Amino acid sequence: MTGWVVIAGLGPGAAAMVTPEVTAALADATDIVGYIPYVARVAPRPGLTLHATDNRVELDRATHALQMAQSGQRVVVVSSGDPGVFAMASAIFEAVEAAPEFVDVDIRVLPGITAMLAAASAIGAPLGHDFCAINLSDNLKPWSLIERRLRLAAQADLAMAFYNPRSASRPDTFTHVLHTLRQECEPTRLISFARAVSTPDQQIITVTLAEAQPEMADMRTVVILGNSATRRVGRHVYTPRSVG
């Protein structure tokens, strides 16, 4: 029996945003591996085993998935959004690099709609020109590196999409982010907060950088800061594709 590992993105939340390719992989799987709330999005069925784990054991989760595939199981490792954006695809390949016996495992990465892109669509077109994405969690990198990237991106006049802006364990992170951005950007710069995007709880708020408050963000929020040309048109926010 030949096993495999598929690393799949479940999209930002709405079932309609799960791609047909991912749906087919889930239907063919014997095992689902992932962080607890993402595994909960997969419906149980006979012949399917769900392996839900905490969010701080990514390498253990990856190794377990690879071991099961070696034993002939068909394993789908699930992430929200896209698995290659701050998610499990990197962890799987890190586990393969650390243990060469996994090199021959059949591994496929299936893309998904990211929270960043779903949020941008709900806002309008704030990522219409050059942009970057920055994970604001300092669990896997120091705050000094985050701050440096924020400053350099602002100086380059990039629009920015922020993941993991604020959590119960990091209540002050976004306060520091706003302070840094205000040092580098004009106070009228538009910043949008997209919470629970694509779900019935979706909320979109756009304010100026001067008006932004840390409490506007939480772990279910993607924050998008425009560049110096980003502007409103009716209820939408967009960044023009032309420069100058």
The pLDDT of residue 57 is 84
The pLDDT of residue 157 is 97
241 beta partners = none
Which amino acid makes up residue 171? Answer: P
CB atoms within 10 A of CB 135: 17
The pLDDT of residue 26 is 98
Label residue 1 by pLDDT band (50, 70, 90). low
Residues 53 and 80 in one domain: yes
Tell me: the pLDDT tens digits for 42-83? 999 999 999 999 877 899 999 999 999 999 999 999 999 999
The DSSP secondary structure of 4-28, one letter per residue, reads EEEEEE-BSS-GGGS-HHHHHHHHH
Residue 144's domain is classified under what CATH number? Answer: 3.30.950.10
Q: What is the mean pLDDT of the chain?
A: 95
The pLDDT of residue 244 is 65
Q: Look up the domain containing 148 and give its range.
A: 116-238
The pLDDT of residue 211 is 98
pTM to 2 decimals? 0.92
Q: Which of 84, 113, 142 is the last residue of a domain?
A: 113
Residues 124 and 74 in one domain: no
Least confident of 20-34, 88-102, 160-174: 160-174
Residues 68 and 165 in one domain: no
